[in-house]
Amino acid sequence: TEGIKVAKSTSINNLLKSEFWLIVNNREYHVTPPEQTFLLGNESVEKLSDIKMLVSQLYSTLNIEQYQLERENDLLQRLEDLKLQLEPLEKVKKDLEVRAQRRTNMLSWLGLGMMGLQFGILARLTWWEYSWDIMEPVTYFVTYGTTMAMYAYFVVTKQEYNFLEVKDRQYLLSFYKNAEKKRLDVHKYNHLRDAISQVEYDLLRLRDPLQLQLPIGHIQRQKS
pLDDT tens digit sequence for 152-167: 888 888 877 777 888 8
pLDDT tens digit sequence for 108-163: 899 889 889 988 988 888 888 888 888 888 888 888 888 898 888 888 888 777 77
The confidence score (pLDDT) of residue 13 equals: 66
Residues of the chain scoring pLDDT < 70: 1-16, 22, 24-25, 34-49, 52, 55-65, 208-224
Determine the distance from the C-alpha atom of residue 144 to the mean position of all C-alpha atoms in its chain, rounded to a whole number. Answer: 48
Q: What is the H or E stretch that residue 154 is in?
A: helix 132-157
The confidence score (pLDDT) of residue 15 equals: 67
Among residues 215, 199, 219, 214, the alpha carbon closest in space to that of 71 is found at 199
The confidence score (pLDDT) of residue 209 equals: 57
- pTM metric for this prediction: 0.54
The confidence score (pLDDT) of residue 218 equals: 43
3-state class percentages of the chain: helix first, strand second, coil last, to nearest 5:
75, 5, 20
- State the pairing for strand pair 20-24/27-31: antiparallel
Q: Tell me the residue type at 49.
A: S
Identify the burial level of 82 via C-beta atoms within 10 angstroms of its C-beta, where 0-12 means exposed, 13-18 middle and 19 or more buried.
Answer: buried
Identify the burial level of 169 via C-beta atoms within 10 angstroms of its C-beta, where 0-12 means exposed, 13-18 middle and 19 or more buried.
Answer: middle
The confidence score (pLDDT) of residue 34 equals: 65
The confidence score (pLDDT) of residue 113 equals: 92
CA dihedral (54, 60, 61, 64) in degrees, to 10, reads: -170
d(CA 188, CA 183): 11
The confidence score (pLDDT) of residue 116 equals: 92
d(CA 205, CA 75): 12
The confidence score (pLDDT) of residue 170 equals: 84
Q: Where are the beta strands (DSSP E) in the chain?
A: 20-24, 27-31
Cβ-contact 72, 199 below 8 angstroms: no
Cα separation values, 221 from 197, 215, 216, 224, Å: 28, 10, 9, 5
